[in-house]
C-alpha cells in the first residue's frame, strides 16, 4: 500500500478532477480554474512536495516507496487539467516533464491533444483525515513561531497530545522537519503529565500541541477568547445549515455528513478551549 501522503494527494486529485469536469460542463470556467490553481498551489506545492522532500532525504530506508512516481503523475494530470486556461506555459512544462519519462508510444506529442483527465471515483477518507490533522499541526506550530518571533532556523520543543498516537507517530519526521521542532513528544492525553503552566497550548481539531515557551498569560487568554468567539459563530452557522430543510433535501449525503463532522469537530474544539480558559483563570 502507498504511504498515507501519496494516498492523500491522489484522493484530493481525483476529487479535483470530478469537480473541474462538473464545473466545465456547467460553463463555470473561472471556478474550474480557481479550483485547479488552489489544488496545485496549496496542496501539491505547499504540502505534498515538502512532504516528499522529507522522504527523499531518507535514503537509508529502501523499503519505503519513492514519492517520485506520484509526484510526476500528479503534476502531469494537473497540467492537463490546467491546459485550457494556461495553454502555453502548461505545454512548455508538460514537454519538459515527459522528456524525462520512459518512452510511451501511446503518449501524444502535445498536451493539447492529450486526453482530458476523468475521475476514478475513489476517495481515501482515512488518508485525508490523517493528513489534514498532520497539516493542521505543522501549520499551527509555524503560526505560533511567527507570532512569537522565533527565528526560522531555531528548533523548539513541542508535545502533541492525541488519541491517535500511532498515526501521528508515523509522521514524526515530517512534523519535526517542517515545523522545526525537536525534541518532539507524542503522547496519549490520558498519560500526559507535562506541566502546562506558562506553556502555549494550541487546541486543534483532534489534538493539542503544547509549546513550553514563555507565554504572556493575558495575551493567551485574549487569543483563546477570540478563538472561542470564532468557533461559537461557526457552530451557530453549521447548526443553522443543518436545520435548513432545503439544504437537507437538496445537498448530497456526503456534503451533509461532512457538515455534521465539522460541527462535531468544532464543538469538541470549543470544549477544549473552554477547559483551557478555566485552567488560566
Q: Could you report the per-residue pLDDT of 66-107, keeping only the tens digit for each? A: 999 999 999 999 999 999 999 999 999 999 999 888 888 888
pLDDT tier for residue 218 given thresholds of 50, 70 and 90: confident
d(CA 142, CA 243): 37
Residue 42 near residue 101 (C-beta atoms within 8 A): no
Where is pLDDT greater, at 34 or 200?
34
Record the cell numbers describing residue 64, joined without a space. Answer: 519505503
Range 130-215: architecture per CATH: 2-Layer Sandwich (3.30)
d(CA 281, CA 276): 9
Tell me whether strands 200-203 and 156-162 are parallel, antiparallel or unpaired. Answer: unpaired
Which of 118-132, 180-194, 256-270: highest mean pLDDT? 118-132
Residue 128 near residue 254 (C-beta atoms within 8 A): no
Q: Coil, helix or strand for 187?
A: strand
**Residue 131: which residues within 8 A CB-CB, separation 6 or more?**
4, 5, 8, 47
Bridge-partner residues for 156, per DSSP? 181
What pLDDT, on the 0 to 100 scale, is given for residue 61? 59
Residue 222 has pLDDT above 90, yes or no: no
Name residue, grid cell 503518449: 107
> Which CATH code fits 4-101?
1.10.730.10
Residue 29 has pLDDT above 60, yes or no: yes
Residue 90: Cβ within 10 Å count: 19
E strand or H helix at 105, and its extent? none
Domain ranges of the chain: 4-101, 130-215, 216-281
Residue 214 has pLDDT above 60, yes or no: no
Determine the average pLDDT of the residues in 47-73. Answer: 86
Residue 268: Cβ within 10 Å count: 13
Record the cell numbers describing residue 9, joined without a space. Answer: 494527494
Residue 8 has pLDDT above 90, yes or no: yes
Residue pLDDT, tens place only, 160-206: 999 889 999 999 999 999 999 999 999 988 766 556 666 788 888 88
Q: Which of these ranges, 31-35, 109-113, 212-216, 258-262, has the smallest mean pLDDT?
A: 212-216
Dmax (CA) for the chain in angstroms is 70
Residue 154: Cβ within 10 Å count: 8
Q: Which of these ranges, 99-103, 251-255, 263-267, has the smallest mean pLDDT?
A: 251-255
Residue 42 has pLDDT above 60, yes or no: yes
What pLDDT, on the 0 to 100 scale, is given for residue 220? 73
Name residue, grid cell 463555470: 28
Taking domain 216-281, whether its CATH number is 1.10.287.380 is answered by: yes
Amino acid at each position: 500500500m502507498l504511504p498515507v501522503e501519496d494516498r492523500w494527494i491522489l484522493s484530493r486529485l481525483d476529487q479535483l478532477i470530478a469537480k473541474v469536469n462538473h464545473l466545465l460542463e456547467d460553463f463555470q470556467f473561472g471556478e474550474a480554474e480557481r479550483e485547479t490553481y488552489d489544488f496545485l498551489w496549496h496542496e501539491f506545492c505547499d504540502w505534498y512536495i515538502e512532504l516528499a522532500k522529507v522522504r527523499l532525504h531518507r535514503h537509508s530506508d529502501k523499503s519505503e516507496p519513492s514519492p517520485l512516481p506520484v509526484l510526476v503523475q500528479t503534476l502531469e494530470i494537473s497540467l492537463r487539467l490546467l491546459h485550457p486556461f494556461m495553454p502555453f506555459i502548461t505545454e512548455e512544462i508538460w514537454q519538459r516533464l515527459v522528456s524525462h519519462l520512459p518512452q510511451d508510444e501511446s503518449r501524444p506529442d502535445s498536451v493539447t491533444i492529450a486526453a482530458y483527465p476523468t475521475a476514478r471515483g475513489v476517495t481515501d477518507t482515512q488518508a485525508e483525515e490523517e493528513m489534514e490533522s498532520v497539516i493542521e499541526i505543522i501549520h499551527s506550530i509555524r503560526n505560533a513561531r511567527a507570532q512569537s518571533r522565533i527565528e526560522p532556523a531555531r528548533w523548539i520543543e513541542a508535545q502533541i497530545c492525541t488519541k491517535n498516537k500511532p498515526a501521528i507517530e508515523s509522521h514524526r519526521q515530517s512534523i519535526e522537519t517542517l515545523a522545526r521542532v525537536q525534541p518532539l513528544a507524542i503522547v496519549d492525553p490520558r498519560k500526559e503529565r507535562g506541566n502546562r503552566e506558562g506553556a502555549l497550548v494550541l487546541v486543534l481539531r483532534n489534538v493539542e500541541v503544547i509549546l513550553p515557551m514563555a507565554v504572556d498569560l493575558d495575551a493567551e487568554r485574549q487569543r483563546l477568547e477570540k478563538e472561542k468567539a470564532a468557533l461559537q459563530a461557526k457552530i451557530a452557522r453549521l447548526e443553522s445549515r443543518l436545520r435548513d430543510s432545503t439544504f437537507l433535501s437538496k445537498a448530497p449525503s456526503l456534503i451533509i455528513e461532512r457538515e455534521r463532522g465539522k460541527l462535531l469537530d468544532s464543538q469538541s474544539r470549543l470544549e477544549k478551549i473552554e477547559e483551557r480558559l478555566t485552567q488560566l483563570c
